[in-house]
Amino acid sequence: MHNNPAMDRSFNQTEDSDRILIVENSEFYANLVKSRIACAFFGAIDIAYSFDEVKEYARKYGDRYFLSLLNMSLKGASSGEAVSFIRAHKIPAIVFTSSSQPDVVKQIKSLGVIDYVFKENRASIDVMMRLVRRLNRNRQIKALVVDDSEIIRIQMRHLLAKQMFQVVEAEDGVEAFEKIEKDPQIKLVVTDFEMPKMNGFKLIQRIRDIKDTQEIAIVGMSSSNEESLAVDFIRFGADDFVLKPIRPESFMSRISMCLDKMDLLNQLSASATTDYLTGLSNRRHFFNVAKPLYENAKRSQITLSVAMIDIDFFKKVNDSYGHDAGDEVLKKISSALAKRVRESDLLARFGGEEFCVLAINVHEKSREELFETLLKTISSVEFNFGGEEVRVTASIGVCFCLDQSLEGMIKRSDAALYTAKENGRNQVVFCDDN
């Protein structure tokens, strides 16, 4: 099926074993943190109110914790002992503290935590929630460090690994570009300017020839303090620039901002091309993708089939079980169809309970089988509403022949769909070729 940004849920998916541990002696504050973190993380969230409970959770779940969020002061551990214990178990940690005293901040940093948040008000909890979301997303990202200095690469690797990136390295622009071409998981590039074989500007130019700002974030760096250098990095396609020697906190803030911007661009793109409820392509995206395919078909380069699908008696589902039930039907049917159509096909929700499939290069002998399979797929999906087992059926109209336009093919398949409804529903009708 054609790739669709909204169908990629990796940012919000976690493994079954993923957990977060909140360590806080105030039950009210701990539950407030938990409710906000649950907006950014979909695994299990545990709360420990004492040092003994911290030890018990660590014993029980150990390396299954993706992250811990800890108060420096806790019952039985008033001086950061719980943080030290968690770090000794190699569990990544973010600390929240009510003290901004320099000696306290220095102590927190010495414990090797990812970051710290001042425990002041609800806004501080939102800061922590954004940190958790960013770290959770970072785990899905490979960061490529490009520098001819091994010392700089080691420093960058340490900083980025601490933020949960998967880190890879390259000594020059040529090696870096080869890795980017081969590995689609590389979503962040941190590159020096002066390097052998290919400098940072040329590398960025080549990257931007194949990947835009929605696909990869680029941060340039240099030890030169020439004013024009930072501007030139941006002109060549970088998202930001940092000056060596690297200041860790400033560097990571800039990295996070660049990736947050990339996420936002992808979310905006997805909202413009996908159906909000089902995650399928929307009507606009369908036509944007389908029209060039139709032109190829007119030149006899490919063959096309258009199918209109409508869920039977959908209004009765809403009337009998409520609109939440209707939404569940749409989502589960969409998911079932998305798994059944081929990788090359285009599936879209046209609105309401109506879907459209554009099938490419379906062999004449396989056409009926393909759409009959989609019909059976829909009727095989089970629902349970109020203890009642429910199934739905659909009617499908299909057009195999090229009309004067793509809209004409859709109109003919829609007419076949109407015939299927008139003939008793739960069937496929193929339009007359004439």
Q: What is the pLDDT of residues 354-400, one digit of tens each?
A: 999 999 999 888 888 999 999 999 999 999 998 999 999 999 999 99
The yes-or-no verdict on residue 9 having pLDDT over 90 is no
Name the residue type at position 97. T
In a domain, 202, yes or no: yes
345 shares a domain with 308: yes
In a domain, 232, yes or no: yes
Q: Give per-residue pLDDT as tens, 164-176.
A: 999 999 999 999 9
pLDDT band at 433 (very low <50, low <70, confident <90, very high): low
111 shares a domain with 19: yes
Q: Give per-residue pLDDT as tens, 115-174.
A: 988 887 778 899 899 999 999 999 999 999 999 999 999 999 999 999 999 999 999 999
In a domain, 278, yes or no: no
CA 135 to chain centre: 13
Per-position b or e across 179-194, b if 16+ CB within 10 A of its CB? bbeeeeebbbbbbbbe
Q: How far apart are CA 397 and CA 357, in angstroms?
A: 10
List the single range of 7-16, 88-97, 178-187, 196-205 with lowest mean pLDDT: 7-16
184 shares a domain with 71: no
Handedness of CA 268, 272, 276, 282 (dihedral sign): negative
Residue 295: DSSP 8-state: H
Tokens of 57: 């959770």
- For the segment 238-258, the average pLDDT, to the nearest whole number, is 92
Tokens of 232: 């030139």
The residues with which 364 forms a beta bridge, in sequence order, are none
- Residue 17's pLDDT is what? 53
In a domain, 199, yes or no: yes
CA 24 to chain centre: 30
365 shares a domain with 381: yes
Tokens of 156: 């960058």
Per cent of the chain over pLDDT 70 is 95
Q: How far apart are CA 387 and CA 390, in angstroms?
A: 9
Residue 321, Cβ density class (10 Å: 0-12 exposed, 13-18 middle, ≥19 buried): middle
97 shares a domain with 221: no
- 149: Cβ–Cβ under 8 A, 6 or more apart, which residues? 192
CA 429 to chain centre: 38
197 shares a domain with 181: yes
Residues involved in catalysis: 353
User: Residue 102, preceding bond cis, omega within 30 degrees?
Assistant: no
In a domain, 130, yes or no: yes
- Residue 79's pLDDT is what? 84
Q: How far apart are CA 350 and CA 284, in angstroms?
A: 9
Pairing verdict, β 93-97 and 65-71: parallel
390 shares a domain with 362: yes
293 shares a domain with 263: no
- Domain range enclosing 353: 283-430
In a domain, 277, yes or no: no
| Alpha-carbon separation of residue 58 from 19, 43, 166, 351 (angstroms) | 11, 16, 25, 49
Name the residue type at position 82. A
Classify the phi-psi angles of 387: left when phi > 0, otherwise alpha if psi is within -120 to 50, otherwise beta: left
**The last residue of a domain, from among 244, 272, 300:** 272
Per cent of the chain over pLDDT 90 is 71
The yes-or-no verdict on residue 98 having pLDDT over 90 is no
Q: How far apart are CA 128 and CA 120, in angstroms?
A: 12
Assign 112 to helix, strand or coil. coil
- Say if residues 118 and 98 touch (Cβ distance below 8 Å): yes
In a domain, 97, yes or no: yes
226 shares a domain with 163: yes
22 shares a domain with 120: yes
302 shares a domain with 242: no
Q: How far apart are CA 398 and CA 394, in angstroms?
A: 13
How many domains, the chain? 3
Q: CB-side exposure of 224: number of CA atoms within 13 Å?
A: 12
Q: How far apart are CA 221 and CA 244, in angstroms?
A: 7
Tokens of 324: 């939440």
Q: Any idea what the CATH number is for the domain that residue 62 is in?
A: 3.40.50.2300
The single residue listed with the structure tokens 């970072």 is 138
